[in-house]
Structure 1
Amino acid sequence: MAMHSITRRTMLRGLGTALALPMLEAMPMVSAAPITTAAAAAGKKSPLRVAFLYVPNGVNMADWKPTAEGANFELPDILKPLQPFRNKINVLTGLTLDKARANGDGPGDHARAMSAFLTGRQPRKTHGADIRAGQSADQYIATRLSEETQFRSLELGIERGQQAGNCDSGYSCAYSSNLSWHAESTPNAKETDPKQVFERLFGNGSAEERAASRAKRDRTNQSILDFVREDVSSLKRELGAGDQRKLDEYFSAVRELELRIERMRTQLTRTAPKPNMPTPTGVPSEVKEHIRIMIDLMVLAFQTDLTRVITLPFANDGSNRPYTMIGVREGHHDLSHHGRDANKMQKIKQINTFHTEQLAYMLAKLSSVQENGKSLLDQSMIVYGSGISDGDRHNHDDLPILLMGGGGGQIQGGRHIVYPKETPLMNLYMALFEKMGTPAKSFGDSTGTLKL
Structure 2
Amino acid sequence: MSFFRTDRRRFMTALGLGAGSLLLPSRFGAGPQRTKAQDPVAPKRILFFITPHGMVPPTWHMRDDGMLGADHELDLTSMSEADFSETFQPLHRHREKLLLLDNLTMATSIAETARVVDGVGHDANEHHLCQAHLMTGTWAVQREGSTAIGGGRSLDMVIGDAVGQPGRFANRIYGFRHQHPYSFLAANEPAPREANPANAFADMMGYLPAEPTETGPTRDDLLRSGRASALDFAAAEFDHVLPRLGAEDADKLRRHQELVRALELSFSGGGVSGVSCDPAVSLEGGEMHQFMQLAALAFSCDITRVITLTAAGLTNAQFGAPDTLNMHQDIAHNSVEGAAGYDPAMAQHMTNYNRTYAEQFSELLDVLDSVPEVGGGTLLDNTTVVWLTELSTGTHWRDQMPRIIAGGGGGYFRTGRYVYYAPTNPTPFSWGAVRDVGPADSHLRVSLMHAMGMTDQDSFGLDEVTIRSTGSALSLRGPLPRLT
TM-score (norm 2): 0.72
Structure 1 counterpart of 2:418? 416
Following superposition, the deviation at residue 214 of structure 1 comes to 5.7
**Which segments of 5 or more consecutive residues in structure 1 lack a partner in the other structure?**
1-9, 30-38, 162-175, 218-223, 267-279
Contact 1:264 1:284 (C-alpha < 8 Å) held by counterparts: no
> Is 1:428 the counterpart of 2:432 in the alignment?
no
Matches within 5 A, 1:28-427: 43-68=39-64, 69-72=72-75, 74-101=83-110, 102-103=113-114, 104=116, 105-126=122-143, 132-147=150-165, 150-157=168-175, 159-160=176-177, 176-203=179-206, 204-206=208-210, 209-213=218-222, 224-227=227-230, 229-230=232-233, 233=236, 241-242=244-245, 249-262=255-268, 289-315=286-312, 321-328=314-321, 329=323, 330-334=325-329, 335-338=331-334, 339-372=341-374, 373-392=376-395, 394-419=396-421, 420=423, 421-427=437-443
Q: Distance in 1 between matches of 2:283 and 2:349?
A: 21
Checking the alignment, whether the CA contact within 8 Å between 1:388 and 1:399 is kept in structure 2 is yes
Unaligned ranges ≥5, structure 2: 1-6, 29-34, 65-71, 77-82, 117-121, 212-216, 273-277, 335-340, 424-436, 463-475
Deviation at 1:348, TM superposition (A): 0.9
1:180 deviates by 1.5
The offset of 1:54, in angstroms, is 0.8
Cα contact 1:99–1:112 (8 A) shared by 2: no
Supply the distance in 2 between the matched residues of 1:194 and 1:403 (Cα, whole angstroms).
25
Aligned CA RMSD, in angstroms, stands at: 3.5
Superposition deviation, residue 264 in structure 1: 11
Query: Could you tell me how far apart the structure 2 residues matched to 1:390 and 1:231 are?
Result: 47
Tell me how far apart the structure 1 counterparts of residues 357 and 271 of structure 2 sit (CA, whole Å).
24
Percent of counterpart pairs with the same letter? Answer: 26
Residues matched between the structures, number: 393
* Cα 1:337–1:213 shift into 2, 3 Å: farther
Cα distance in 1, alignment partners of residues 9 and 369 from structure 2: 25
Q: What are the Cα deviations for residues 321-362 of structure 1, in whole angstroms up to 9, with x where unaligned? A: 523134223343232111321111111111100000011111
In structure 1, the residue matched to 2:461 is 444
Rounded to whole Å, the distance in 2 between the matches of 1:442 and 1:112 is 20
Q: Write the distance in 1 (CA, Å) between the matches of 2:14 and 2:270.
A: 24
Go from structure 1 to structure 2 and tell me whether the alpha carbon gap of 1:239 and 1:70 turns closer, same or farther (over 3 Å shift).
Answer: same
The TM-score, its normalising length taken from structure 1, stands at: 0.76
Corresponding letter in the other structure for 1:23: L
- Taking the aligned partners of 2:237 and 2:279, their CA distance within structure 1 comes to 36
Query: Which whole-Å CA distance do the structure 1 matches of 2:152 and 2:300 have between them?
Result: 30
Partners of 1:118 and 1:259 in 2: CA distance: 34
Letter of the aligned partner of 2:459 in structure 1?
Answer: S
Deviation digits for residues 48-105 of structure 1 (CA, Å, limit 9, x no counterpart): 1111111111111211111334124642100000111111111111211123332314
Q: 1:41 to 1:85 in 2, by over 3 A?
A: farther
Partner deviation per Cα, 1:398-420 (whole Å, 9 max, x = no partner): 11211111221121112121224
SS in 1 for 2:9: strand
Measured in 2, the distance between the counterparts of 1:314 and 1:100 equals 22
Q: 1:122 to 1:28 in 2, by over 3 A?
A: farther
Take 1:77 and 1:234, find their aligned partners in 2: how far apart are those partners?
45
Distance 1:351 1:214 in 2: 40
> Secondary structure at the residue paired with 2:47?
strand
Report the 3-state secondary structure (helix = DSSP H, G, I; strand = E; otherwise coil) of the residue aligned with 2:141: coil
SS in structure 1 opposite 2:74?
coil
1:92 is paired with a residue whose SS is: strand
How far apart, in 1, do the equivalents of 2:51 and 2:364 lie? 15
Pick closer, same or farther for the CA change 1:284–1:237 going to 2, 3 Å.
closer
Q: Tell whether the 8 Å contact from 2:380 to 2:407 is kept in structure 1 after alignment.
A: yes
Does the C-alpha gap of structure 1 residues 107 and 282 become closer, same or farther in structure 2, counting only changes over 3 Å? farther
Q: Is the 8 A contact 1:193 1:282 kept in 2?
A: no
Q: Distance in 2 between matches of 1:64 and 1:284?
A: 34
| CA distance, structure 1, for counterparts of residue 184 and residue 36 of structure 2 | 35
SS at match of 1:155: strand
Q: Is the 8 A contact 1:78 1:352 kept in 2?
A: yes
Paired residues of 2:96 and 2:415 also in contact (CA < 8 A): yes
How far apart are the structure 1 equivalents of 2:165 and 2:302? 12
3-state SS of paired residue (2:103) = strand
Shift of residue 232, structure 1, vs aligned partner: 6.4
Q: Which shows bigger deviation, 105-114 or 351-360?
A: 105-114
Shift in Å, 1:255: 2.7
